[in-house]
Structure 1
Amino acid sequence: MSVVTQVSHGTTTRRVGLVGWGAIGQVVGNALAEGRVPGAELVGIVDNRTLDDLPAQQLNFEQALESCDLIVEAAGQSVVREWGERVLAAGVDLMVCSSGALTDADLAERLRGAGPGRVYFTGGAVGGLDLLQAVRGLGPLTTVRLTTTKLPRTLIQPWMDQELTDRLKRAEEPVEVMRGTAADVPSKFPKSTNVAASVALAVGDPRAVEVVVMADPAATLTRHVIEAEGSHGSYRFEVNHRPDPVNPATSQVVPHAVLRSLDAVLGRSGMVL
């Protein structure tokens, strides 16, 4: 998200519903339940499994829409596709973690036309998005490339043929898994390439972002390298994250990026950077 500087003269508690109780949802949910996000009250958790020992009551989606005014999606792109419009039409705001869903042009257009709820997205595992957004004011970027490198086993997908699957399983050196644009790659790797969608949203055009997905059996960190260039300058950002031990397809930092975004959206008193 963009850098937010806000001065507030009062706060209103927002009733938050959390969708998904996985690696991201558990960190976010426990932080909300412990009061670590001022202005937020965790009302309930939505998950398609029956769960025990939750820090808030388990709700179905309809109950969440009735009792919450902000839904945090931490369960995958399919939730955004299935429920996004209904959330907004109910007057509930939606924070999207699985930003890959927003590279679907038809879905993005429908969400823009829905309301009165609003959509927010979190940058997750990558930085520099505010600068890319600002650069758009100077003119279009001629080149934008994202290279993402992860462990091979986190990139294996059901649509892959046996040859590619075996190649990833047996890889002893880096393998280029896919090259395309941010308009098509995120749908192929729904749990691994949300960064591509975040870069595309910052740039303003998914087809302008080239995405290269690399598998490296020697990778101990997940690496994202953004390279952008235009007549007004050139930019390069590189981040290296430890994978989440529970879900190596995501980075440990992602839930903390969500909490930071919630801080900004909820308008914490004082100055927020």
Structure 2
Amino acid sequence: MSRATPRKVGLIGWGAIGRVVGGALAAGQVPGAELVCVVDNRPLAGTAPAPQRTVEQAMETCDLIVEAAGQGVVREWGAAILASGTDLLIASTGALTDDTLTDKLLHTTPGRVYFTGGAVGGLDLLQAVRAMGPLDEVRLTTTKLPATLEQPWMDAELLRRMRSATGPVEVMAGTARDVPVKFPKSTNVAASVALAVGDPDAVRVSVVADPAAAHTSHVIEASGAHGAYRFEVRHLPAAANPATSQVVPYAVLRSLAALAGRTGQIL
């Protein structure tokens, strides 16, 4: 049954994800949810379909805040939002490779924290398999256009290899704990897989730059005593921000619809 009173939603971030989510909310496309305000560190000058507010003001007027602005917002404001009694839906799951932060968010009340899987599928199955016993091996290979993966910490040689590449180039290999820290805007999928598996250190991640990557791809391979699993997704990058996939805001909207009380969904 739908909630009698619409959820009052505040949106942090008016970028490639936030604009799609905010526009859909303002157009009434999520029954049971109402966009109350938008938070962004840039003046929006009336371009958003709801008043621009500070995070503190959003906590006072909303019962659900959607984070669509990056890992730093989760670190800085996540616990405070929950402590205020406001629920929090996190898109930037990369922040949750920090065990201390994750534990704090999971145990801060009275607000409740929720996560969206974003650009990857199969997480529910990995969670189900994990309940039967540990997975022996979990690997994620993410492939994107080189320009979307460039980072300030990269040395001149790595940048040269990426920019002059004529084929795939591995730019980093590590665990799901290491990689999202190095690529804070483009590898939230690694953290989502780690959350499903229950251990960031158990997920081996390879980040690949490919100048021919018309689609962003994520390949998850997992195996254990109960079976072997492989999932592959290929998304078009978002036009406004090629570091993220077009599908991400729609994953956020699906999570919002579930939180707003729409029934008949496989959660």
2:2·2:32 contact (CA, 8 Å) conserved in 1? no
AA matched with 2:22 = G
Task: Find the partner of 1:43 among 36, 43, 57.
Answer: 36
In the alignment, structure 1 residue 26 sits paired with structure 2 residue 19: yes
AA matched with 2:14 = W
Report the number of matched residues. Answer: 265
Q: 1:173-212: per-residue Cα shift (whole Å, max 9, x none)?
A: 1100001000111010011100000000011111110010
Distance in 2, Cα, partners of 1:120 & 1:256: 16
Distance in 2, Cα, partners of 1:120 & 1:142: 27
Distance in 2, Cα, partners of 1:56 & 1:76: 21
Structure 1 residues without counterparts, runs of 5 or longer: 1-7
AA matched with 1:50 = P
Corresponding residue for residue 128 of structure 1: 122
Shift of 1:124: 0.5
Q: Which runs of 4+ in 1 moved over 4 A?
A: none
Distance in 1, Cα, partners of 2:70 & 2:4: 30
Stretch deviating more after TM superposition (30-39 or 110-119):
110-119
Distance in 1, Cα, partners of 2:208 & 2:237: 15
1:11·1:267 contact (CA, 8 Å) conserved in 2? no
Distance in 2, Cα, partners of 1:187 & 1:118: 24
Corresponding residue for residue 90 of structure 2: 96
Distance in 2, Cα, partners of 1:112 & 1:265: 17
TM-score normalised per structure 2:
0.97
Task: Find the partner of 2:206 among 199, 203, 212.
Answer: 212
**1:233-252 aligned within 5 A:** 233-252=227-246
Shift of 1:136: 1.1
AA matched with 2:34 = E
AA matched with 2:60 = E
AA matched with 1:40 = A
Corresponding residue for residue 202 of structure 1: 196
Structure 2 residues without counterparts, runs of 5 or longer: none
Shift of 1:35: 0.7
Shift of 1:113: 2.3
In the alignment, structure 1 residue 259 sits paired with structure 2 residue 253: yes
Shift of 1:228: 0.3
Distance in 2, Cα, partners of 1:61 & 1:261: 21
Instruction: Tell me the C-alpha RMSD between the 2 structures.
Output: 0.9
Shift of 1:44: 0.2
Identity %: 69
2:135·2:222 contact (CA, 8 Å) conserved in 1? yes
Shift of 1:149: 0.2
TM-score normalised per structure 1:
0.95
Distance in 1, Cα, partners of 2:157 & 2:103: 37
Distance in 2, Cα, partners of 1:50 & 1:36: 26
Shift of 1:10: 4.5
Distance in 2, Cα, partners of 1:141 & 1:223: 23
Distance in 1, Cα, partners of 2:165 & 2:53: 43
Distance in 2, Cα, partners of 1:171 & 1:67: 50
Shift of 1:165: 1.5
Partner of 2:232: helix, strand, or coil?
strand
